[in-house]
A and B are shown apart, each in its own frame.
Chain A
Amino acid sequence: MANRDATARIQPRKQDLEDAYAPPANFLEIDVLNPETHGIGNKRFTDYELRMRTNLPIFRVKESCVRRRYSDFEWLRGELERDSKIVVPPLPGKALSRQLPFRGDDGIFEEDFIEDRRQGLEQFINKIAGHPLAQNEKCLHIFLLEPVIDKNYVPGKVRLT
């Protein structure tokens, strides 16, 4: 028979009760809510409320609330494709056909369409924000935290201080 010690379980380190029962250190939730259409006529656009709650130290605030429109998401996707090494998930469709004239309905301002788009954007941003490599990109922090996106920012990485 093999020596008992040879196959005995390796003694684990004791876990702090604090660690065991504290909220996990990986809390990150982003909700895309309250779509609102602004403007009139053919200058209309829809934006969405982006609410983030987290306890990850890489984000300098624990809660934020900003409004973003579809083209802002496109901007973020473009920045990440160029600067980060990750494979960026796709956005919900651009729906160009809905922007053509002579449609019987409201085109891109249809309620159902906006709801589908909202869900797609929510999945997109949660997937991205949870990626350890995307969390280092300045563009993601600007997108989630800054009320207005400065398209002339200097691309770069965010370091944990």
Chain B
Amino acid sequence: MAEIKTEDGKKEKHYLYLDGETISGKVSIKLKKAGTRLEHHGIKVEFVGQIELYYDRGNHHEFTSLVRELARPGELTSNVSYDFEFNQVEKPYESYTGTNVRLRYFLRLTVVKRLSDLVKEQDIVVHTLSHYPDMNSSIKMEVGIEDSLHIEFEYNKSKYHLQDVIVGKIYFILVRIKIRHMELQIIKRETTGIGPNTFNENETIAKFEIMDGAPVRGESIPIRLFLNGYELTPTMRDINKKFSVRYYLNLVLVDEEDRRYFKQQEITVFRKADKVRKSVRNASAKFGSQDVAAHVQSPSSDHTDASSPRYEHNYIAD
């Protein structure tokens, strides 16, 4: 199952897995020069989930790590392939590539040799699905600056899925300033680190003008903002105590003298579970090195239900 993910600003496609799904496939090792021998001290494949903080590159935090031994120490004289399976693997977090942090899952093939190992990595993408929340109250609030501006804003929900639409309205209770226009922004705040070493990265994902001109008391301005046009991820709160990604709606009013009045409100963004999942056959990925070309093929993914059974979370600590 192929899916798009951004990295260094570019988009890549990797196989998509959900929590609880089995990851299986085949490793093929081809010797570049036929007739040569490759001595090794073992071949293994690992499934790793890790969090990388960009400002602390030396310390990758592995929250999941499983290994399968493919071959005992020996010698390769011809091309070989090995089947592998990681059965019903827990993938508790969604893959995320951000400004200061990255969470990724990947398969790592290692051919252990005397002097230096041959290592190849193959990324996969994990999505976490949520069911539609039972409680999804609207956000309704009255805010203002004494004697100058009072508004009441309302958004129809507090939790939105990635293809949802924000429906709302702004009602003007008191307008004693000269407003020129009003816009709604979606702001993404990525928080990494703890305590005094907290980094907050704010990114304005969207700016959408909802009103042009000067309103008077009693006017209502409607809001209709479609989320599927923007690059959003689900809200992530305190992932493995390492980072958070939160989204805010920022309502901004600008007056004739370019003074800005604003009100930020957090919303929860989630990924809705699809009704139907299609399975994929016969996709493959290649990667090579000096003397071997290793090849991971076709995750023969079982067609699992979107609602995976609940697992105890036994993480392999680093």
List residues of A whose CB falls within 8 A of some B CB. Answer: 6-10, 12-13, 15-16, 19-20, 22, 24-26, 28, 56-58, 126-127, 130-132, 135, 160
* 13 A/B residue pairs, CB under 8 Å, sorted by A: A7-B167, A12-B171, A13-B218, A19-B218, A24-B214, A25-B217, A26-B176, A57-B147, A57-B176, A126-B257, A130-B256, A135-B147, A160-B146
Chain B positions within 8 Å of A20 at CB level: 216, 218-219
Q: Is the CB of A26 within 8 A of B178?
A: yes
Name the contact of B177 in the complex, choosing from A12, A26, A127 (C-beta under 8 A): A26
- Count residues on chain B whose CB falls below 8 Å from chain A CBs: 29
- Indicate whether B175 reaches chain A with its CB closer than 8 angstroms: yes
In the assembly, what is the distance between CA of A55 and CA of B214, in Å?
16
Q: Is the CB of A12 within 8 A of B222?
A: yes
Chain A residue at smallest Cβ distance from B255: A130
7 A-B pairs besides A10-B169, A22-B216 with CB distance below 8 A are A13-B171, A15-B218, A15-B220, A20-B218, A25-B217, A56-B176, A130-B255
Question: Mostly helix, strand, loop or mixed at chain A's interface?
Answer: loop
Chain A positions within 8 Å of B149 at CB level: 132
The distance from the CB of A1 to the nearest CB of chain B, in whole angstroms, is 13
The distance from the CB of B41 to the nearest CB of chain A, in whole angstroms, is 58
Instruction: Given A24-B214, A26-B178, A130-B178, answer yes or no on A12-B220 (Cβ-Cβ < 8 Å).
Output: yes
Q: Is the CB of B178 within 8 A of A132?
A: no
Q: Is the CB of B154 within 8 A of A10?
A: yes
- Indicate whether B156 reaches chain A with its CB closer than 8 angstroms: yes
In the assembly, what is the distance between CA of A135 and CA of B148, in Å?
10
- How does the 8 Å CB contact mask read for B163-188 relative to A, with 1 for contact and 0 for none? 00101110100111110000000000
- Indicate whether B316 reaches chain A with its CB closer than 8 angstroms: no
Q: Is the CB of A26 within 8 A of B214?
A: yes
Instruction: Given A19-B218, A25-B217, answer yes or no on A130-B177 (Cβ-Cβ < 8 Å).
Output: yes
In the assembly, what is the distance between CA of A16 and CA of B176, in Å?
17
The distance from the CB of B223 to the nearest CB of chain A, in whole angstroms, is 8
The distance from the CB of A130 to the nearest CB of chain B, in whole angstroms, is 6
Chain B positions within 8 Å of A7 at CB level: 156, 165, 167
Chain B positions within 8 Å of A19 at CB level: 216-218
Chain A positions within 8 Å of B145 at CB level: 132
In the assembly, what is the distance between CA of A13 and CA of B142, in Å?
15
In the assembly, what is the distance between CA of A15 and CA of B216, in Å?
10
Chain A positions within 8 Å of B171 at CB level: 12-13
In the assembly, what is the distance between CA of A130 and CA of B256, in Å?
9
Q: Is the CB of A9 within 8 A of B222?
A: yes
The distance from the CB of B137 to the nearest CB of chain A, in whole angstroms, is 14
In the assembly, what is the distance between CA of A10 and CA of B176, in Å?
25
Chain B positions within 8 Å of A58 at CB level: 147, 176
- Chain B CB count within 10 A is highest, among A8, A9, A26, for A26
Q: Is the CB of B175 within 8 A of A26?
A: yes
The distance from the CB of B147 to the nearest CB of chain A, in whole angstroms, is 5
Chain B residue at smallest Cβ distance from A12: B220
In the assembly, what is the distance between CA of A16 and CA of B216, in Å?
11
